[in-house]
Chains A and B, each alone.
Chain A
């Protein structure tokens, strides 16, 4: 057995392999295994129905946030249409199961692929344009897709939406939150593993090169347009898979949730979590979904207490205010987001008591 690796007291990497390694030390690997055991062995059995529902929501949004993180955090292209792409995934999955009778797993994958194709269409303007313009193009995409959801009644059911039939996988009923938990988190872990490794390939490095300096990247022989489109389609694929799971999670979909606000929430997730950080995307999702829950419970509580229902109604916009404030404060004080805070906490433990 090879020697166990511990934290060195500095940066002593001798080869590119070491630079590319995912785990600096063997403790990292150990923690990952512990984490997986807790994720699949403890949490689903220890939490109640409500908590499971929230956890599933977190897992689904985290998948989409990972995709957006690839686009914004790694490739440096801002998208304001991620919520609509999420919706495309949801509708694709719902239509494929109800109309074409696709099984669950196939509809999820097909939804991802279809969303990736839609993403490419709206990513095309990026061929000639910098991120400013791409942002505007995706904003237009958001509105156009929303319009399609509402008006293409024969396919999407218009404002009434689509109700999904009961889905089964390996004979298990997916309506059960605990079963669905396993599916969501297996998807999340697989997609996260893919993303971590994507970052280490030539594609991942090309994305980062485009973000840091697109002219230099072009000079080094990276076909920027193709890579931007690739990044766009991978990001949309993640959104599509997330959306498909969302459709099965909710069991019925309407155009309403897939509005601009959802796109903004996704952006908030990855800014608060930390741009260009994979754990950051997860942290950000947990933060935003919990914030949503806490704020909506607070309003509900205030309504029930009946101090005055007027106060509770005026409290509702506070949610937007807190969202905006969180984004603003994170950009000013901790631009690297929760991931950086997490890293600081970790290394202060590691260096204790001689933090030099």
Chain B
């Protein structure tokens, strides 16, 4: 029973990590219906900016953290301006290819600058957050992940539902020409959504970095794990991303614990194919009925 409980807790904390890293992805998809194949690299960029500021420049954590957020926000603007703005109005396939190219480019650049080693942040989370459940220890990082995830869920839920910017974003994602003709400033919305997505990715990247260490390869691999999570939860649902993340996390740890460790890495993708065949819009995704 202890083994089961341990797996359960591990699964949920892994799942929360997946959920957290899926949030930025959902954010971009929800606001511009772009399937971002560079998401893992965005996580890595955020994590490395924070690494440089906190561990190498030795700034206080709060300052380093806020500088990271500001920096990635403007980086998001820059990337959008340079690479994605020329593609507004182009076919979706080209935008997806662009994110693929950007991802490879960022990965090469990060590897070039930081190498393939694992770096670590200084220890800064307060120990008080951790607690023991029965006889299972839950470290403070996982508690922080959980809190951040819930916070995101609430903030972005309200943002997309009530703020005008959020509604603009949804309209652009739904139908770009219609949004344009109704006077939505599509370029500004695009810029905004990429900038915010960079911030969200940076926060997720930092949390991932605290837990697993900052490494280009592992962070960009997480970008691919995001797909089963968001497909399960529904591509444009933030709550779905969190639930999907937890389900995939549990699935991975239980497969690893009870069946085989090599199957563990692949089980999310098998589930992914099954979901795509059975319930393609996921648990909470917007169902677009189109008989074509």
Which of A's residues lie within 8 Å of B, judged by CB? 72, 76, 78, 122, 124-125, 128-129, 131-133, 135-137, 139-141, 143-144, 147, 150-151, 214-215, 218, 224, 260, 264, 267-268, 271, 275, 314-328, 331-332, 335
Q: Which of B105-154 contact A (CB under 8 A)?
A: 105-112, 115
B91 to chain A: closest residue by CB: A76
Q: How far is the CA of A128 from the CA of B285 in the complex (A)?
A: 15
Which residues of chain B are near A133, meaning CB under 8 Å?
231, 276, 280
Q: Of A136, A141, A319, A331, which is within 8 A of B94 by CB?
A: A331
B235 to chain A: closest residue by CB: A132
Let me know if A328 and B93 touch, CB within 8 A: no
Evaluate whether A321 and B35 lie within 8 angstroms (CB atoms) in the complex, with A125-B276, A140-B272, A332-B83 already known: no
- Answer yes or no: B87 CB below 8 A from chain A CBs: yes
Which residues of chain A are near B111, meaning CB under 8 Å?
316-317, 320
- Answer yes or no: B286 CB below 8 A from chain A CBs: no
Annotate B88-103 by CB proximity to A: 1 below 8 A, 0 otherwise. Answer: 0010111011101111
Which residues of chain A are near B183, meaning CB under 8 Å?
none
- Answer yes or no: B227 CB below 8 A from chain A CBs: yes
Apart from A143-B269, A315-B112, A317-B112, 10 more pairs, CB < 8 Å: A72-B93, A78-B97, A125-B277, A129-B280, A131-B92, A137-B272, A141-B273, A323-B101, A324-B103, A326-B101
B260 to chain A: closest residue by CB: A151
Which residues of chain B are near A260, meaning CB under 8 Å?
224
Let me know if A314 and B115 touch, CB within 8 A: yes
Q: Of B112, B235, B263, B266, which is within 8 A of A321 by CB?
A: B112
Q: Of A139, A218, A314, A325, which is within 8 A of B224 by CB?
A: A139
Annotate B153-165 by CB proximity to A: 1 below 8 A, 0 otherwise. Answer: 0000000000000
Evaluate whether A140 and B98 lie within 8 angstroms (CB atoms) in the complex, with A314-B112, A318-B112, A321-B112 already known: no
Evaluate whether A135 and B96 lie within 8 angstroms (CB atoms) in the complex, with A320-B111, A323-B108 already known: yes
Q: Of B105, B106, B262, B270, which is within 8 A of A144 by CB?
A: B270
Let me know if B97 and A267 touch, CB within 8 A: yes
Q: Of A141, A218, A224, A328, which is within 8 A of B105 by CB?
A: A328
- Answer yes or no: B58 CB below 8 A from chain A CBs: no
Which of B's residues lie within 8 Å of A, judged by CB? 35, 83, 86-87, 90, 92-94, 96-98, 100-112, 115, 224, 227-228, 231, 235, 262-263, 265-266, 269-270, 272-273, 276-277, 280, 290-292
Evaluate whether A324 and B107 lie within 8 angstroms (CB atoms) in the complex, with A136-B227, A218-B292, A314-B112 already known: yes
Closest chain-A Cβ to B10's Cβ sits at a distance in Å of 22
Let me know if A328 and B101 touch, CB within 8 A: yes
Let me know if A215 and B292 touch, CB within 8 A: yes
B111 to chain A: closest residue by CB: A317
Let me know if A325 and B227 touch, CB within 8 A: no
Q: Of A140, A151, A316, A327, which is within 8 A of B262 by CB?
A: A151
Q: How far is the CA of A133 from the CA of B231 in the complex (A)?
A: 9
Evaluate whether A320 and B108 lie within 8 angstroms (CB atoms) in the complex, with A125-B273, A327-B100, A328-B101 already known: yes
Q: How far is the CA of A318 from the CA of B107 in the complex (A)?
A: 10
What are 28 inter-chain pairs, A to B, with CB distance below 8 A? A78-B93, A132-B35, A137-B272, A137-B276, A139-B227, A140-B227, A140-B228, A140-B272, A140-B273, A141-B273, A144-B269, A150-B262, A151-B262, A218-B291, A224-B292, A264-B104, A271-B101, A275-B93, A314-B115, A315-B112, A316-B111, A320-B107, A320-B108, A323-B108, A324-B107, A331-B98, A331-B101, A335-B94
Closest chain-A Cβ to B38's Cβ sits at a distance in Å of 9
Q: How far is the CA of A78 from the CA of B231 in the complex (A)?
A: 17
Which residues of chain A are near B263, meaning CB under 8 Å?
147
Q: How far is the CA of A316 from the CA of B116 in the complex (A)?
A: 11
Q: How far is the CA of A143 from the CA of B262 in the complex (A)?
A: 12
Let me know if B105 and A128 touch, CB within 8 A: no
Q: How far is the CA of A327 from the CA of B93 in the complex (A)?
A: 13
Which residues of chain B are near A332, meaning CB under 8 Å?
83, 86-87, 98
Which residues of chain B are near A143, meaning CB under 8 Å?
224, 265-266, 269
Which residues of chain A are near B291, meaning CB under 8 Å?
218
Q: Of A140, A268, A326, which is within 8 A of B269 by CB?
A: A140
Closest chain-B Cβ to A125's Cβ sits at a distance in Å of 4
Let me know if A128 and B100 touch, CB within 8 A: no
B38 to chain A: closest residue by CB: A324
B262 to chain A: closest residue by CB: A151
Instruction: Output the residue of B87, B104, B290 with the most chain A CB within 10 A.
Output: B104
Closest chain-A Cβ to B228's Cβ sits at a distance in Å of 8
Q: How far is the CA of A268 from the CA of B100 in the complex (A)?
A: 9
Let me know if B280 and A331 touch, CB within 8 A: no
Which residues of chain A are near B112, meaning CB under 8 Å?
314-315, 317-318, 321
Q: How far is the CA of A328 from the CA of B96 in the complex (A)?
A: 11
Let me know if B101 and A327 touch, CB within 8 A: yes
Let me know if B108 and A317 touch, CB within 8 A: yes
Which residues of chain A are near B83, meaning CB under 8 Å?
328, 332
Let me know if A331 and B276 touch, CB within 8 A: no
Closest chain-B Cβ to A203's Cβ sits at a distance in Å of 19
Evaluate whether A140 and B270 lie within 8 angstroms (CB atoms) in the complex, with A320-B111, A327-B101 already known: yes
Closest chain-B Cβ to A330's Cβ sits at a distance in Å of 8
Q: Which 5 A-B pairs have the closest CB atoms?
A: A324-B105, A321-B108, A327-B101, A320-B108, A324-B104
B270 to chain A: closest residue by CB: A144
Let me know if A124 and B277 touch, CB within 8 A: yes
Q: How far is the CA of A325 from the CA of B112 in the complex (A)?
A: 14
Q: How far is the CA of A78 from the CA of B94 in the complex (A)?
A: 10
Let me know if B94 and A137 touch, CB within 8 A: no
Let me know if B102 and A324 touch, CB within 8 A: yes
Closest chain-A Cβ to B65's Cβ sits at a distance in Å of 28
Q: How far is the CA of A315 from the CA of B112 in the complex (A)?
A: 7
Let me know if B276 and A129 touch, CB within 8 A: yes
A144 to chain B: closest residue by CB: B269
